[in-house]
Amino acid sequence: MKSEKPKFFYGYIVVLAGFYIALATHGAFYSFGIFFERVLNEFGWTRAVTSGAFSLANLLNGLSSIIMGRLTDKLGPRIVITACGLLLGIGLLLMSQTRAIWQLYLFWGIIIAIGVSGGFVPTTSVVPRWFVERRGLMTGIVVAGIGAGTMIIPPLASQLIANYGWRTSFIIIGGIVSASIILVAQFMRRDPSQVKQLPYGTNKLEEKDLDLQATGFSPQEALHTKQFWMIFAIYLFYGACLQAIIVHVVIYATGLELSLASAANILAIIGGLSIAGKVMMGNVADRVGNRLVLGACLILMSIALFWLIKCREVWMFYLFAASFGLAYGGIVAVEALILAERFGLKSVGANLGICFLANTGGGAIGVVLLGWIFDMTSSYSLGFLICALLSSAAFVLTLLLGWSDRKNLVSKLSRPSRFPL
């Protein structure tokens, strides 16, 4: 196969659009931690009950992502992301009118959750279709948008809250985020054939990879392999750690007498270093492999979580945030790559959606568990220790992954499917 080099490769537009969509959706979603204390103070709800809305959102985000992945495989990302961007904006606007706990669960836990599901799976699942070479780097750039959003929108929310109050801040953020997502989504395309191009580096595809690229596992077939479930478990543990920290670290820091601005900077540093982690580790994965990158990042995350237990001063929190952000960036950067490499491109959106449910399901458990532990013990120490142990367990699973079984996976593609789509 020979690929003609066009004057301009449209895949780069897809990557830039995906970067911004990830920035806007996840930046708004992860600003929950900034609004958390203000909502608690106004209504007097417990931390476990309030954070439960974020947990529900995580869980529903994961479930919705399975549907969004299937729709992206069939309809393309433009339609899916446009609809999700509209729904996200509606949810954020409704949050400004919250008066009761059921409204918090409806607006954030359901409407916003479904809207956010357009920000990860539809953007990252299309990148492997566009790139054979530079796949890790380009995927890293797209998911770096999540870190950029975490770095930009929560501090912005903090300033808006200080100047206008939390209700008006939701209106401002909701309007900007929704309008910009809908606009940028119009530049997304599912694959190069839609603009009469070939994937970047098509001429360098090895014959042994061609079948896996062209066919691949349906979701039903992937679910019948041990490799898929091991990957699912790794990202379940990782998701529990990530979301628990994103939601609770700000209020934990302010409880130790750090200012809200300094505490918000923790999220900003996590977001900023995750950008470096996603781009750098995505590039490294192209060279040394996804498994090595995943294992190294899980080790770093475990060390950072053990360190968090002892954090008391600003510099300690910032060091934690830098290490945690770098590790988190690398872990998320290789998720779509691992699935595309192991299970092909035919149903990569649906397979990624199922695996993304592990992230969000783990996050749903982790956020509520950490809040409940604090309510019971008046301390986050035990919760942070559990997170560190979960991250360590994910690293052990990475070591146990049977990556050498890839040949067996490829050979199964030639067999008639027992689980047709």
Give the angle subtended at the CA of 199 by the CAs of 295 and 139, to the nearest 5°.
30
The single-letter code of the amino acid at 418 is R
Question: SS3 of 131, please?
Answer: strand
Query: Residue range 60-67: average pLDDT?
Result: 87
pLDDT at 68 over 80: yes
pLDDT of 317: 92
Joined tokens for residue 146: 């999540």
Q: Which of 115-119, 200-204, 225-229 has the lowest mean pLDDT?
A: 200-204
The DSSP line for 217-229 is --HHHHTTSHHHH
| Backbone angles phi and psi of 78, in degrees to 5 | -60, -50
pLDDT of 402: 59
User: Domains in the chain, ordered, with CATH?
Assistant: 11-201+208-411 (1.20.1250.20)
| CA gap 409, 342 in Å, rounded | 7
Return the C-alpha torsion angle 402, 408, 409, 412, nearest 10: -160
Residue 193 CB burial class (10 angstroms; 0-12, 13-18, ≥19): exposed
| CA gap 4, 198 in Å, rounded | 8
339 vs 113 pLDDT, higher one: 113
| Whole-prediction pTM | 0.74
pLDDT of 210: 44
- The model's pLDDT over 76-97, given as tens digits with 9 standing for 90+, comes to 899 999 999 999 999 999 999 9
Q: Which of 157-161, 251-255, 355-359 has the lowest mean pLDDT?
A: 355-359
CA distances from 413 to 16, 38, 213, 408, 410 (A): 33, 53, 11, 9, 5
Which residues, 6 or more positions from 327, have their beta carbon under 8 angstroms from its beta carbon?
A: 277, 297, 298, 300, 301, 304
> Buried (b) or exposed (e) across 13-42, using 16+ Cβ within 10 A?
ebbebbbbbbbbbbbbbbbbbbbbbebbee
* Spatial CA neighbour of 192 closest among 386, 8, 399: 8
pLDDT at 29 over 60: yes
Joined tokens for residue 91: 């949810």
pLDDT band for position 204 (50/70/90)? low
pLDDT at 279 over 50: yes
* Spatial CA neighbour of 87 closest among 66, 60, 69: 60
Q: What is the CA radius of gyration of the chain?
A: 21
> Buried (b) or exposed (e) across 204-216, using 16+ Cβ within 10 A?
ebeeeeeebbebb
- The model's pLDDT over 152-161, given as tens digits with 9 standing for 90+, comes to 888 888 889 8
| CA gap 236, 234 in Å, rounded | 5
CA distances from 330 to 60, 151, 238, 267, 389 (A): 24, 16, 12, 17, 19
- Tell me if 140 sits within 8 A of 333, measured CB to CB: yes
The DSSP line for 284-348 is HHHHH-HHHHHHHHHHHHHHHHHHHTT--SHHHHHHHHHHHHHHHHHHHHTHHHHHHHHH-STTH
pLDDT at 102 over 50: yes
The pLDDT > 70 percentage for the chain reads 90
- The model's pLDDT over 390-406, given as tens digits with 9 standing for 90+, comes to 999 999 988 887 544 44
Q: What is the largest CA-CA distance in the chain?
A: 64
In 10 A of CB 280, how many CB atoms?
A: 18
Identify the residue whose tokens are 């770093």: 300
Mean pLDDT, all residues of the chain: 83
pLDDT band for position 6 (50/70/90)? low
pLDDT at 137 over 90: no
Identify the residue whose tokens are 């002892």: 310
The single-letter code of the amino acid at 111 is I
